[in-house]
Structure formats: C-alpha cells, structure tokens
Structure 1
Amino acid sequence: MTTKTSQILAELADREAIRECLYRYARGVDRLDADMVRSAYWPDVVDKHLEFEGNAEEFIAWAFPAMQAMDQTMHLIGNVLIALHGDQADVESYFYGYHRITVDGRKMDVIGAGRYLDRFEKREDEWRIRERLVMTDWFREYSDSADWSMGLLGQRLDIGGRFPDDPSYTRLRFDF
C-alpha cells in the first residue's frame, strides 16, 4: 500500500518532527549528551535495546558507560517509514552504527546495523518515542582499525568529541 501525496503533504510537519527526533537520539548517543537523548524519549518510554529493557534514565545509565569506553561512535539513520495514526505513529528506521573500541590494547572496529521499531506519541504538539524495540539485522567485527595517527589520506583530522567538548556545541545553536 502506498501513501497518497495529499496525505503526505497534510502530515509533513509531523513526519519531519519524527525524523528530527530520530536524529536527536543518534546525535545524543554519539556525543554522550544525556539531555539530547532524553529529548527523544518520553519519560515513561519502554526501550528494549539488545539485552536492556527500561526507561530513558535507565537506558542512559546502561548505555553511556559502555559508550564512554569506546574511542568513537557514529550512528546513521536511514530508510524511515512512518505510519501516522492520530497522535501515535508506527515508525521503522534503519540504523548503522560504527564503534571504534579497544580490546586487550588493540583498536578494532565493530559495526552493527538493524532497525528501530518505534511507537511514537505526540503530546502537547511534540513527538517522542514511547516504545522502542531494537532489531539487529547485521553486524561485523573487524579485528583491527585504521591507523588514525596518519589521518585520512595523510591529512590532519579534526576528530569529533563528546559533550560538551565537541566543536558543535560552540559553533552551532540547537534549541532542543
């Protein structure tokens, strides 16, 4: 079944708000910005995420220590399908997560990919995640990582940081 153009036009603001919420979540976990992650979830969310199940605060307490131990992370969101049902929406979004970790003194890369199966809810004109089920469809563990000391093609790199040290916190203004 397809969605008619006139329906998408009528739903455009809601659809964009849902996409922005997904992007806030991805940015929040990569930058270790707890407030940004909170802004993507309703406080009474139920998130089933790998071996974890709990609310937003419990998710932050579970995920952030593991993420802090990683050198770098990057979560990309794609293929977002949205079905609006009044003040609720069923949303499937694909994710691709890069993780640079250290194991026994060796740098290695781990890539995980899958889908977020989300139920969004609109409260007081704001969309956030009310329920999340994370499905892992693919992953790959590389026994090594690139030599970052040489930079990309021998060029100096400005490596992204975490909250509040990443340059995006001083160069950009987000009012989320």
Structure 2
Amino acid sequence: MEAQNRRGTLAAMLAVPFGLAAVGQASAATVKGKGKPMASVADRLDAIESRQAITELLYAYARANDRADEALMKSLFWPESTHKHGKFEGKSSDFVGFAFKIVSGLKYACHHISNVSVEVKGDRAFSECYYFAQHRRDRKDGTGEEDQFFQGRYLDDLERRNGEWKIIRRRGLSDYTSPAFPSETTYAQWPAGQHSEKYPNDDYYRMRQQFEGS
C-alpha cells in the first residue's frame, strides 16, 4: 500500500509540469473570451523591461535639465530625431542647444516626471508623460531673483537599436506657464553644501562614480 501511495504521489508530481505547459500553451494561443492572440512570456517580459528602460530615459531627461548635463541630454535621442516644443520645431540635436541656452543660465531647475505611460511594439514604442518644472533665475532688472513654474506633457516615439532605447520623435506640450514670482532670498543665500549643483559638481556624479567603482 505504501509503495502504491508513493507511486501515485510521484505520478501526480510529474503530471504538474505537463499540466502547466498545457495551460501555458492555451493561454498563449488566445485570450479567454476574446479569441485574440496573447503574447508569449518572453514577449511580455521584454515589454516590461522596455517600459522600465523608457521610464528611466524620461527621468534622465529631467536630470539632464536640472544638472545642466548637455552630454546626457544628447544621448537620449537618435541622431535623426525630430522635436516640436513651443516655438521650436526641428532636429532634437538642435533643440538640445536651444534648451541649454536657457537651463545653463539658471540658478536652479527642478523637473518632475509623472503619469508615465508606455506602449511597446517590438523595437518601437510610444510614451506619454507629464512634467512639472521650476526655474530660478536672475530678474532682468537686476533687483534679485525670481521663480517661474511650468507644466505640460511629452509625447515620444522611440526606437530600440542594438538593445538600446532612444527617442526618435518628441512632441512637447506646454499646458501652463506661471507668472514670475520674485524670490525672498537669493540662491547664494541658501546654506552651502545643502542644495543641488550642476554638472559635474553635483554629488550625484561623485556618488555614482563611487558606486560603479565599488
């Protein structure tokens, strides 16, 4: 009796992988009740990894603005990428130069990326995200500094080449620009060593280099 029980248990254990395989094949074949093909596990995993890579790319765009890291911003676009945002329409490489005339002169910038949505089709993707930004700059009349706030969205077409995702077309939408608010204190009055800096002086670069070397 004991031997029969062991054989029965072993048979049941061996049957599990075959049962799971059958379920997996059925799931891959159709979506229940819709009759539409369902992506394989490998395709779904690739889509998840692609969405994460694209999300990190969008965050890197914000960092490039805030740290005035021109090389980083250029690296996010394919050479032939096009750009339309505000009054600018042309190649993304030219937009980077246009943008850095602005951000390099700021005392401080902070860009927030949110509501990230990414659709992936093989080596192509489409994404939407929202941005909210703050710029601290000198007032034109020389009487101190001012803050201005912006919000809008980025719509991007992206391509993957040799395993790397980059933007091939960007449409920037500006939904709100605040009035300029005179600041009560200047950036120089903020406690030294307690605020963000620009490339390459910000602690991000030093700490990341230490992390990579550890």
Q: Distance in 2 between matches of 1:40 and 1:70?
A: 22
The alignment status of 1:69 with 2:105, answered yes or no, reads yes
Deviation of the 1:50 alpha carbon:
1.5
* Other-structure match for 2:183: 145
Q: Distance in 2 between matches of 1:91 and 1:50?
A: 19
SS of equivalent residue, structure 1 residue 172? helix
Greater helix content: 2
Selected match of 1:12 from 48, 51, 56: 48
Letter in 1 for 2:155: L
Larger Rg: 2
Seen in structure 2, the aligned counterparts of structure 1 residues 64 and 150 have a Cα distance that, compared at 3 Å, is closer
For the aligned residues, what is the CA RMSD?
Answer: 2.3
Selected match of 1:123 from 149, 152, 161: 161
Q: Distance in 2 between matches of 1:63 and 1:142?
A: 19
1:24 touches 1:39 (CA, 8 Å); kept in 2? no
Structure 1 unaligned spans of 5+: none
SS of equivalent residue, structure 1 residue 70? coil
Structure 2 unaligned spans of 5+: 1-37
Percent identity between the two aligned chains? 33
Structure with more contact order per residue of length (Cα contacts < 8 Å, sep ≥ 6): 1
| TM-score with structure 1 setting the length | 0.85
Letter in 2 for 1:132: R
The alignment status of 1:60 with 2:96, answered yes or no, reads yes
Greater strand content: 1
| 1:4-56 deviation digits (Å, cap 9, x = unpaired) | 9x786551100000011111111112111111101211111101122112223
1:42-53 equivalences in 2 (<5 Å): 42-53=78-89
Letter in 2 for 1:127: W
2:132 touches 2:149 (CA, 8 Å); kept in 1? yes
